[in-house]
Amino acid sequence: MYSKEELQSGLNTHIFGKKIFTYESIDSTNACAKTLASTGAEEGTVVIAEYQTAGRGRLGRTWQAESGSNLLFSTIIRPTLEINKIGLLPFFAAAGVALALETVTGAHCECKWPNDVLLNGKKCCGILLESSFQHNVLDYAIIGIGVNVNQKLFSEELKDRATSLSQEYGKEFDRRKIFQQIMKSLELLYAEVKTGKFEVTLHEWKARTKMFGKQVTLTQAGEHLHGRAMSLSADGGLVLATPDGQRVCYAGDVTFTMQS
């Protein structure tokens, strides 16, 4: 595991990564960051681990990642946001990761609603955002980021959908460099996000998504909804034009529908 000093060396950020907690193994960096945030940890605090025994994914799933090959970390933010803007935070995190991976690798990343980052059509990064409120006001949000960096093998179940930077480029990547670039990209976008504005974030995210105008299937809890992906709603929902009219969806997995 990199030391805190190694991760911070040359990192000229003012918020993200100013405080870092490192672990060889932990249940979940999100769970740990939540505990820290609820006891007052400042925004930008990072919890990073080589391995998670209970890594959390979206929709109650687990996040599996080989030990010592990837980036598994969570960071705390405390923006002052109206409640209807909170659903835009995942786009901030995904755009930040995409910008960073592009800077380090020269690749073009795809952003997939709501918060996956893909390389050549396969997922290389998952993001889990968990928010906490006090009297209907956002107290903090935890951004949990899992980037597949140098992992070579994926389970039978995942191998057609998941990839890593090293699998795509046939070489090993410096995880410290990628971590630091993510910190920098998040900080860049956060300058406007913390004031409640998402123009740059949404511009960057939309420039990297392929779904608008396409027929998609949104799957949630075994239910399938078919429609044309039209746009994002002001609060981060996916606007679908379905045979029964327009629907705005807030959770689920999107796949492109095969056209006959």
Task: Give every CB contact of residue 146 below 8 A, 6+ residues apart in sequence.
Answer: 55, 63, 65, 70, 71, 72, 125, 126, 127, 128
How near is the Cβ of 246 to ligand BTN at its closest, in Å? Answer: 27
HSE of 214 in the Cβ direction (CA atoms, 13 Å)? Answer: 14
How near is the Cβ of 210 to ligand BTN at its closest, in Å? Answer: 18
Phi, psi of 30 (to 5 degrees): -65, -45
How near is the Cβ of 245 to ligand BTN at its closest, in Å? Answer: 30
Reduced to 3 states (helix: H, G, I; strand: E, B; else coil), residue 83 is: helix
User: What does the binding site for ligand BTN look like in residue numbers (CB under 6 A)?
Assistant: 28-30, 52, 55-58, 61, 63, 72-74, 116, 126-128, 144-146
* 219 strand-pairing partners: 224, 253
How near is the Cβ of 29 to ligand BTN at its closest, in Å? Answer: 4
Q: Among candidates 129, 127, 151, 150, which has minimal Cα distance to 138?
A: 129
How near is the Cβ of 7 to ligand BTN at its closest, in Å? Answer: 15
Distances (CA, A) of 52 to 26, 30, 159, 160, 180: 5, 10, 20, 23, 20
Reduced to 3 states (helix: H, G, I; strand: E, B; else coil), residue 66 is: coil
Q: Are strands 20-26 and 137-147 parallel, antiparallel or unpaired?
A: unpaired
User: Cα angle vertex 123, ends 98, 91, to 5°?
Assistant: 40
What span, in angstroms and rounded, lies between the C-alpha atoms of 220 and 99? 29
Residue 53 or 136 with smaller CB distance to ligand BTN: 53
How near is the Cβ of 58 to ligand BTN at its closest, in Å? Answer: 4
How near is the Cβ of 99 to ligand BTN at its closest, in Å? Answer: 18
Residue 113 or 198 with smaller CB distance to ligand BTN: 113
Residue 8 or 74 with smaller CB distance to ligand BTN: 74
Q: 179 burial class (0-12, 13-18, 19+ CB within 10 angstroms)?
A: buried
Residue 168 or 192 with smaller CB distance to ligand BTN: 168
Residue 119 or 127 with smaller CB distance to ligand BTN: 127
Length of the chain equals 260
Residue 117 or 193 with smaller CB distance to ligand BTN: 117
Residue 56 or 175 with smaller CB distance to ligand BTN: 56
Query: Which residue has the CB atom at the shortest distance from ligand BTN?
Result: 126
